[in-house]
Structure 1
Amino acid sequence: MMEYRIGRSRKQQEEQAVKEATEGLVNPKLILFFSEADNFTKYTVDMKNLFPDSLIIGSTTFVGLCKEGAYKDTLIVLGIEEGIECYGDVLEEVDRYPLKYIDRIENCVKQFKNTQNTICFEVSSALISSEELILSTFSSVLVDKGIPLFGGSAGDRGNAEKTMISFNGKVMEKACAFVILKNLGGGIKLYRENIYRPTKWHFTATKVDIRNRIVYEYNDQPAAQVMAKALNTDIKNLPSYLDSYPLGRLIGNEMYITANQGITDHNGMAYHARVYNNSHMVLLEPDDYKEVLRRTREQVKRDIPNPSLTIMIHCLARSILFEKDGYLNDFAKEMGNTLGNYIGFAGYGEQLNQQHFNQTMVLAVFE
């Protein structure tokens, strides 16, 4: 049986906020916490001082989510005391050479007698285009062991200023903190939801800068021109469409959302996830997101009628959209009606197994 507590606090004094948000925790094996950037460093230090023997991972976020609602400028904490086995560490230099730290992943995996019902959760620094390098490093170890991965890039207030993560009392800006955890009471099921649908416009990336996430040409034509034509506009007015019309990267029968970042020199298009040469892309348009969410909740309810716990990664862009529509708080509560107790954060990207993508919700639901 999983024993845990989810708490939160808006107290201005950081030490008091940590005590309020962790009230009732005695000796947690694992703590996950999310907050705004302003107080994040102090939360990190105070949390480790209060629970020196716990494995503690934190991330900055646009908003904290739980069954009671959506909370900004709030410390939100999950502490798990029983029902899991877990080991964690951190990858450093993720913008250049995370592979140098692959032994830290291997050492965590070796601690388990078996990896049944085991999953890897990670949070990474955002805005440095490091996610694909990080996933490649994890895949080198986890794929052979059959351990799924899910996680997200850190968030901020939505102004792309600064994101941070922390591991066991230390704040980091170019790193990835991770925990490999085993559910001792059952399985763990992963869900990926997008609220966009394909249009008739399909493209092939024919000239790309993979590392900098730029596509210069689709179908051998300037990428921005191709996009503008598909949206029945011109390049001057194209930026006003970019938030609502992302692209989908097609891999077999799967589609992963790639968010637009902007127009570059020479009418290229910059993105928030990598597009590879010869990638097959489809222009997306908004779907009825409340209907999509209803179907997701129904699917989870059929699969796992009474979840023990859920961890949610909810894209910052989705959170901003829901907030603009006055729906963000209701969304959080409605998800709670299906998931029960859950904790979520919103950042600049989502990861599932070997893929990094955007504008998506990822759920890890524990039986």
Structure 2
Amino acid sequence: MKFSVGKSSKRDFKEAVSEAAAGLVSPKLLLFFSDVECFEGYNEEIKGRFKDSIILGSTTFAGFCKDGAYKDSLLVMGIEEGIECYADVLEDANRYPLKYVDRVQQCVQKFGNTKNTVCFEISTALISCEELVLSTLNSILEDKEIPLFGGSAGDYGKAEKTLISFNGSIYRNACAFVIIKNLGGKIHLYRENIYKPTAHYFTATKVDERNRIVHEYDNRPAAKVVAEALNTTVEGLPKYLDSYPMGRIIGNDMYITANQMVTANNGMAYHARVYNNSQMVLLEPDDYKKVIHTTIETVKKDIPNPSLAIMINCLARSMLFEGDVYLNDFAKEMSSALGNYIGFAGYGEQLGQQHFNQTMVLAVFE
């Protein structure tokens, strides 16, 4: 596979793109990630320079590559050989993305076969669109057994504005997707949790799914139930919310659901949907460096010589690592398993049918 990853911290858009995309001529697929402030400027310059390429971009809290973690910077990955890919965009993502489902179908139909194929998607965040987007994409992808992974766009961590880009157009309410066939081997997908279950399990018994609010666990006010489990009061609960997310249990799998806030009526608002009768577990922090080491060793064993990799590392995880002065080391350590890779940090992660939070998702190409 022929590709390159580049970066630039220059704020002159032309100079930054020249530096980050040095050596790229006409990539089949170009991914780029940057801070919100310069995103539109970088996008315009990239659009003008790579008119024949499929281009997907997203705002991010930080960009990742083998050299480290970068804020207020532009990161670019251009793939010139070794893949076949087709892409499009789902608009009106928070209301009716299904209106554009034919765009997914048309992309899938262009492949002779879909062996060793994956769908990568980026959605704008802060508009609760992810579950609608996933159901739309998977209505086509699942029939062809094409797995999906992706993430929600990010910003500085203040939940103010996120943007994505598709082929030079900027969107505030959309999902850009690209279906990629690896011509050189398989594509492996991974999901990493750095939180572990406590002994406290609940059933969601009164739920506002669309607004991501659980009003009751086990027929009692949700905030009171969670507060009791943490041995605190409802008033004291907010200080625990970042460190003690919930886990939504589906079969043998557990997906992290990040707390948003305590609502006025002692409900709990979340950053991903919880469904009525969902089985939930209160989570607590695990030894994250040990977990990351295990992930690295697993990837190394599965794919000794990866060609490229794409990472989505949740914004909340990234902020945690940054607070521990570990974010840069984390990015470098991941390269021992991923090789030359690119990554971004946003407000949610997606894998298969599920949208979740505070997680790392990896796609590693043989």
Q: How does 1:1-367 map to 2 (within 5 A)?
A: 2-367=1-366
For residue 211 of structure 1, report the CA deviation from its aligned partner. 0.2
Distance in 2 separating the partners of 1:332 and 1:20: 21
Cα offset, 1:338, TM superposition: 1.6
Q: Which amino acid aligns with 2:43?
A: T
Q: CA deviation at 1:291?
A: 0.4
Give, in whole Å, the separation in 2 of the partners of 1:14 and 1:39: 8
> SS in structure 2 opposite 1:217?
strand
How far 1:134 moved relative to its partner?
0.2
Q: Which runs of 5+ in 1 are unaligned?
A: none
Q: Match for 2:268: what amino acid?
A: M
Q: Secondary structure at the match of 1:275?
A: coil
Q: Distance in 2 between matches of 1:12 and 1:152?
A: 25
Matching residue's letter, 1:127:
L
Amino acid of the structure 2 residue aligned with 1:7: G
AA aligned opposite 1:291? K
Secondary structure at the aligned position of 1:49 is classed as: helix
Describe the superposition over 1:245-290 as per-residue Cα deviations: whole angstroms up to 9, x where unpaired: 0000000000000000000011000000000000000000000000
Tell me the distance in 2 between the aligned counterparts of 1:104 and 1:16. Answer: 35
Mapped to 1, the partners of 2:218 and 2:132 lie a distance apart of: 27
Kindly state the Cα deviation for residue 43 of structure 1 after the two structures are TM-superposed: 1.1
Structure 2: gaps spanning 5 or more residues: none
- Alpha-carbon distance in 1 for matches of 2:60, 2:260: 19
Cα deviations across residues 200-230 of structure 1 (Å, max 9, x unaligned)?
0000000000000000000000000001000
SS at match of 1:202: strand
What CA distance in whole angstroms lies between the structure 1 residues aligned with 2:173 and 2:188? 29
Name the amino acid aligned to 2:190: Y
Deviations 1:75-103 (A, max 9, x none): 00000000000000000000100000000
- Percent identical: 70
> Whole-Å Cα distance in 1 between the matches of residues 149 and 346 of structure 2?
13
Deviation at 1:45, TM superposition (A): 1.2
TM-score, scaled relative to structure 1: 0.99
SS of equivalent residue, structure 2 residue 37:
coil
Deviations 1:175-208 (A, max 9, x none): 0001001000000000000000000000000000
Give distance in 2, aligned partners of 1:224 and 1:190.
35
SS of 1:20's equivalent? Answer: helix
* One-letter code aligned to 1:163: T
CA–CA separation in structure 1 for the residues paired with 2:337 and 2:111: 31
For 1:332 and 1:264, the matched residues in 2 are separated by 36
SS in 2 for 1:265: coil
Q: Which amino acid aligns with 1:226?
A: V
**Offset at residue 9 of structure 1 (A):** 0.6
Q: CA deviation at 1:60?
A: 0.1
Which residue identity lines up with residue 5 of structure 2 in the other structure? I
TM-score (norm 2): 1.00
Moved beyond 4 Å, runs of 4+: none
Question: Distance in 2 between the 1:334 and 1:265 partners?
Answer: 43
Look up the SS of the partner of 1:261 in the other structure.
strand
Q: Within 2, Cα distance between the matches of 1:337 and 1:117?
A: 24
Q: Secondary structure at the match of 2:260?
A: strand
Instruction: Tell me the secondary structure at the aligned position of residue 304 of structure 2.
Output: coil
**Aligned AA (1:85):** E
